[in-house]
A and B are shown apart, each in its own frame.
Chain A
Amino acid sequence: MHDAPAHAVHQHAAPTSFIRKYVFSLDHKVIGKQYYGLALIAVLTGMVLSWLMRLHLGWVNLKIPGLHLLSASGAPGDVMTPEYYLQLMTMHGTIMVFFVLTTAPFAAFGNYFLPIQVGAEDMPFPRFNMMSFWVTFTAFLVLISSFFVGDGPTLAGWTQYAPLSAVGAVAGPGQGMGEVLWASAIAIFCVGQLLGSLNFITTTLDMRTKGMSLWRLPLSAWAWFITSVMGLTAFAVLMPACILLILDHVAGTSFFVASNLVINDQLQPHSGGSTLLWQHLFWFFGHPEVYIAIVPGMGVVSHVLIANMRRPMLSHRVIVYSMGALAVLSYMVYGHHMFVSGMNPFSSLAFSFPTLIITIPSTILVLIWIGSLYGSKLRINTASLFALGFISLFISGGVSGFFLAQPSIDIMLHATYFVVGHFHLVMAVAAIFGIFAGSYFWFPKVTGRMMNETLGKVHFWLTFVGAYCIFMPFHYLGIAGNVRRYQAFVDDYLVGLIPLHRFITVAALITGAVQLIFLYNLIHSGFRGEKAPLNPWQATSLEWSTPSSPPPFDNFGGRHVVVYHDPYQYGIEGATDDYVMQDSPAQIQSVRDEK
Chain B
Amino acid sequence: MGKILAVTIILIAILSAVPIVMHTWVAPADVSVHGHLIDEQMAETMAEAGIAFLAGQILLGLFIWKFSDVKPGARIKNFPGGAMGLVIGAFLLVGTEVLALGVFGVKAWSEVYFQPPAANAMPIQVQAGQFAFYFRYPGPDGKFGPIHPELINEGTQNLFGLDQDHDPASKDDIVTAEMAIPVNHEVHLLMHTKDLGHSFYVPALRVQQDFVPGLDVTLHFTATKVGKYEIVCTQLCGLGHYNMKAYLDVMSQGDFDSWLKQQAANQ
Q: Which 4 A-B pairs have the closest CB atoms?
A: A258-B214, A375-B77, A315-B83, A408-B108
A591 to chain B: closest residue by CB: B76
Contact across chains for A491 and B28 when beta carbons are under 8 A apart: no
Query: Which of B37, B83, B105, B149 is in CB contact (< 8 Å) with A407?
Result: B105
Please encode chain B, from 179 to 222, with 1 for each CB lying within 8 Å of some chain A CB and 0 for all others. 00000000000000011110101010011111111110100000
Which A382-413 residues have a C-beta within 8 angstroms of B?
A: 385, 388, 391-392, 395-396, 399-400, 402-403, 405-409, 411-412
B214 to chain A: closest residue by CB: A258
Q: How far is the CA of A276 from the CA of B211 in the complex (A)?
A: 11
Query: Which of A259, A262, A457, A485 is in CB contact (< 8 Å) with B195?
Result: A262
A380 in contact with B1 given A274-B214, A348-B109 (CB within 8 Å)? yes
A487, CB-defined interface residue at 8 Å: yes
Q: How far is the CA of A491 from the CA of B228 in the complex (A)?
A: 13
B238, CB-defined interface residue at 8 Å: yes
Which A163-204 residues have a C-beta within 8 angstroms of B?
A: 163-164, 167, 171-173
A170 to chain B: closest residue by CB: B195
B226, CB-defined interface residue at 8 Å: no
Instruction: List residues of chain B with CB within 8 A of the CB of A487.
Output: 242
Query: Which of A263, A340, A405 is in CB contact (< 8 Å) with B199?
Result: A340
Contact across chains for A375 and B199 when beta carbons are under 8 A apart: no
Contact across chains for B53 and A360 when beta carbons are under 8 A apart: no
Instruction: List residues of chain B with CB within 8 A of the CB of A500.
Output: 25
B203 to chain A: closest residue by CB: A481
Number of interface residues of B (CB under 8 A): 101
B142, CB-defined interface residue at 8 Å: no
B161, CB-defined interface residue at 8 Å: yes
Contact across chains for B212 and A341 when beta carbons are under 8 A apart: yes
B106, CB-defined interface residue at 8 Å: yes
Query: Which of A267, A376, A408 is in CB contact (< 8 Å) with B109?
Result: A408
Binds A, one of B152-160, B168-176, B248-256, B258-266: B152-160
Number of interface residues of A (CB under 8 A): 114
Q: How far is the CA of A400 from the CA of B233 in the complex (A)?
A: 23
A3, CB-defined interface residue at 8 Å: no
A45, CB-defined interface residue at 8 Å: no
A409 in contact with B41 given A378-B2, A414-B208 (CB within 8 Å)? yes
A259 in contact with B105 given A82-B242, A164-B238, A375-B78 (CB within 8 Å)? no
Given contacts A377-B74, A403-B42, 20 further A-B contacts (CB under 8 A): A161-B235, A163-B213, A164-B236, A172-B239, A262-B152, A267-B149, A315-B82, A340-B208, A352-B105, A360-B94, A360-B98, A364-B86, A370-B59, A378-B68, A379-B68, A380-B68, A388-B64, A402-B45, A408-B108, A411-B112
Instruction: List residues of chain A with CB within 8 A of the CB of B211.
Output: 342
- B89 to chain A minimum Cβ distance, whole angstroms, is 7
A543, CB-defined interface residue at 8 Å: no
- B266 to chain A minimum Cβ distance, whole angstroms, is 23
Q: How far is the CA of A376 from the CA of B89 in the complex (A)?
A: 21
B116, CB-defined interface residue at 8 Å: no
B267, CB-defined interface residue at 8 Å: no
Contact across chains for B60 and A375 when beta carbons are under 8 A apart: no
Contact across chains for B236 and A485 when beta carbons are under 8 A apart: yes
B87, CB-defined interface residue at 8 Å: yes
Q: How far is the CA of A512 from the CA of B64 in the complex (A)?
A: 27
Contact across chains for A310 and B90 when beta carbons are under 8 A apart: no
Contact across chains for B197 and A161 when beta carbons are under 8 A apart: yes
Q: How far is the CA of A485 from the CA of B198 in the complex (A)?
A: 13
Query: Which of B9, B108, B239 is in CB contact (< 8 Å) with A82?
Result: B239
Instruction: List residues of chain A with CB within 8 A of the CB of B236.
Output: 86, 156-157, 161, 164, 485
Which A556-595 residues have a C-beta within 8 angstroms of B?
A: 570-571, 573, 591-592, 594
- B237 to chain A minimum Cβ distance, whole angstroms, is 6
A86 in contact with B239 given A388-B5, A493-B230 (CB within 8 Å)? yes
Binds B, one of A101-109, A434-442, A472-480: A472-480
